[in-house]
Amino acid sequence: MRTLPLLLALLIAAPAAAVIRVDINSGTAQPLPVAVPAFATASAVATEAGTTAALGQQVAGVIAADLASSGLFRPLDPAAFTTTVAPADVTAPQFAAWRTIAAQALITGNVTANPDGGITVGCYAYDVFSAEELARQGFVTTAANWRRAAHKCADLVYSRLTGETGYFDSRIVYVSETGPKTRRIKRLAVMDQDGAGHRFLTNGQTLVLTPRFAPNQQTLTYMSFANNRPRIWVYTIGSGRQEAVGDFPNMSFAPRFSPDGGTLVFSMSQNGTTDIYKLDIASRRLARLTNGPGINTAPSYSPDGSKIVFESDRSGGQQIYTMNADGSGQTRISFGEGRAGTPVWSPRGDLIAFTRLGGGKFRIGVIRPDGGGERLLTNAFQDEGPTWSPNGRVILFFRTAAGRGGKVDLHSVDLSGANERQIKTPLDASDPAWSPLLP
């Protein structure tokens, strides 16, 4: 499935100065109308994932859905299209047909079957009114990997029009939940960020919590109550192999990888005190980073690996602190009413997402690493556990509805606070973690 790398063909053209531009901070107010017609194919050739013609339809559908999900784009209804894209149109579009339906950008391309059984997906973006080409790129991969080619095309369009890197070619790992709250069954599950390719990773026999991707996305770290020994584990996605980390006598939990993948940072509890430790994976050397008092947990590395943000109740209630990766310089950064927990550093390094507790609610907020600029992005009964998209522009979290047996599900919100939407999952869901962009 995902095991073959995605090869980029060398068709990248230097873009002309883009006439249309999407303002990533306010683009959700007026999403850009775009047309994403079915991708063309010179002749319909069968592949292991269907004919190239069928793939052309599906690729366009995935791209349109990705762009729409960002809230910044409004793909027009294909029923309104007045033309279809023939192979020759891909490099020389009939702009008049797209102008009449007021599309501002045209995303088009082609799907070609390769001799080795794989496919090449050509991706082209145009400014409809100025008739200028904005971007082009080709993606060579297996036919079974066609979705990733579509996501990479959507990322190309997104980045050309917003000036930011995209986030569509990525995955989400989370905890799938079912059953009554008093007898909840939890399973690790993984899916593409658009919900496709959903797969359960554990069978629900053991309570599992808080999965997080390693930077190479081949493994996850998580917490499990297997054998009634609550501790951290590592799961290899390809093989399904699960391995407990260390042989610590006490409960370990809240694990995360360092950005270089070489260290695991986590909490361990001992006789009522919980501290943060880091484990060098190769040498198995354990270092203690906090030394009481109280509860120190939820550690998260900065993207450059030099700092760790975490929560501590040393001041009397949960608040957010930063420290150097060696444990020095522990500094409180959250203040004001209520408490703050579950901090997560943005991949861009500029912000920390967290859960603000107070006034009977849990709300998702962001704050700068220096503690300034706190903004709350959601306002419901119980929103918690944020995770960042790879480009640091979208925050995914889980929401619990009030009331007996209230549903728990995944929601995302744009950093501007707009475009709050639910991410559909087969069952209830919690503890999401977003992967980096896939290479």
DSSP 171-183: EEEEEEEES-GGG
**288 vs 267: CA distance, rounded Å:** 10
Identify which range of 10-18, 107-115, 212-220, 270-278 contacts another protein by CB under 8 A: 270-278
Q: Which is nearer to another protein, 126 or 310 (CB)?
A: 310
Exactly one of 45, 131, 209, 427 binds another protein (CB under 8 A); which one? 209
Name the nearest CA neighbour of 196 among 381, 423, 387, 386. 423
Exactly one of 116, 359, 404, 439 binds another protein (CB under 8 A); which one? 404
Exactly one of 269, 324, 416, 419 binds another protein (CB under 8 A); which one? 269
**281 vs 273: CA distance, rounded Å:** 24
Exactly one of 402, 422, 424, 426 binds another protein (CB under 8 A); which one? 402
Q: Minimum distance from CB of 272 to another protein (Å)? A: 4
Question: Is residue 418 a contact residue for another protein (CB under 8 A)?
Answer: no
Phi, psi of 324 (to 5 degrees): -70, 160
Question: Is residue 384 a contact residue for another protein (CB under 8 A)?
Answer: yes
Identify which range of 1-9, 64-72, 94-102, 404-412 contacts another protein by CB under 8 A: 404-412
Q: Which is nearer to another protein, 21 or 229 (CB)?
A: 229
**80 vs 219: CA distance, rounded Å:** 44
Q: Minimum distance from CB of 289 to another protein (Å)? A: 15
Question: Cα–Cα distances in Å, from 30 out to 21, 61, 164, 181, 216?
Answer: 12, 21, 18, 41, 36
Ranges within 62-91 binding another protein (CB under 8 A): none
Q: Which is nearer to another protein, 37 or 341 (CB)?
A: 341
Question: Is residue 317 a contact residue for another protein (CB under 8 A)?
Answer: yes
Question: Is residue 205 a contact residue for another protein (CB under 8 A)?
Answer: yes
Question: Is residue 176 a contact residue for another protein (CB under 8 A)?
Answer: no
Dihedral angle sign, alpha carbons of residues 133, 87, 104, 130 = positive
Instruction: Give the pairing type, strands 171-178 and 32-35.
Output: unpaired
Question: Is residue 365 a contact residue for another protein (CB under 8 A)?
Answer: no
Token readout for 239 is: 């093989």
Q: Minimum distance from CB of 162 to another protein (Å)? A: 32
Question: Is residue 359 a contact residue for another protein (CB under 8 A)?
Answer: no
**326 vs 316: CA distance, rounded Å:** 24
Dihedral angle sign, alpha carbons of residues 121, 39, 159, 93 = positive
Indicate the SS3 state at residue 285: coil
Question: Is residue 181 a contact residue for another protein (CB under 8 A)?
Answer: yes
Exactly one of 89, 155, 192, 311 binds another protein (CB under 8 A); which one? 311
Identify which range of 88-96, 104-112, 139-147, 251-259 contacts another protein by CB under 8 A: 251-259
**57 vs 55: CA distance, rounded Å:** 5
**49 vs 1: CA distance, rounded Å:** 11
Q: Minimum distance from CB of 183 to another protein (Å)? A: 5
Exactly one of 115, 116, 228, 284 binds another protein (CB under 8 A); which one? 228
Q: Which is nearer to another protein, 129 or 381 (CB)?
A: 381
Question: Is residue 207 a contact residue for another protein (CB under 8 A)?
Answer: yes
Between CA 99 and CA 109, with CA 103 as vertex, the angle to 5 degrees is: 100
Question: Is residue 246 a contact residue for another protein (CB under 8 A)?
Answer: no
Count CA atoms within 13 Å of residue 191 on its CB side: 18
**183 vs 181: CA distance, rounded Å:** 5
Residues that bind another protein (CB under 8 A): 180-184, 205-207, 209-210, 223, 225, 228, 230, 251, 253-254, 267, 269, 271-272, 274, 295, 297-298, 311, 313, 317-318, 341-342, 355, 357, 362, 381-382, 384-385, 400, 402-406, 430-431
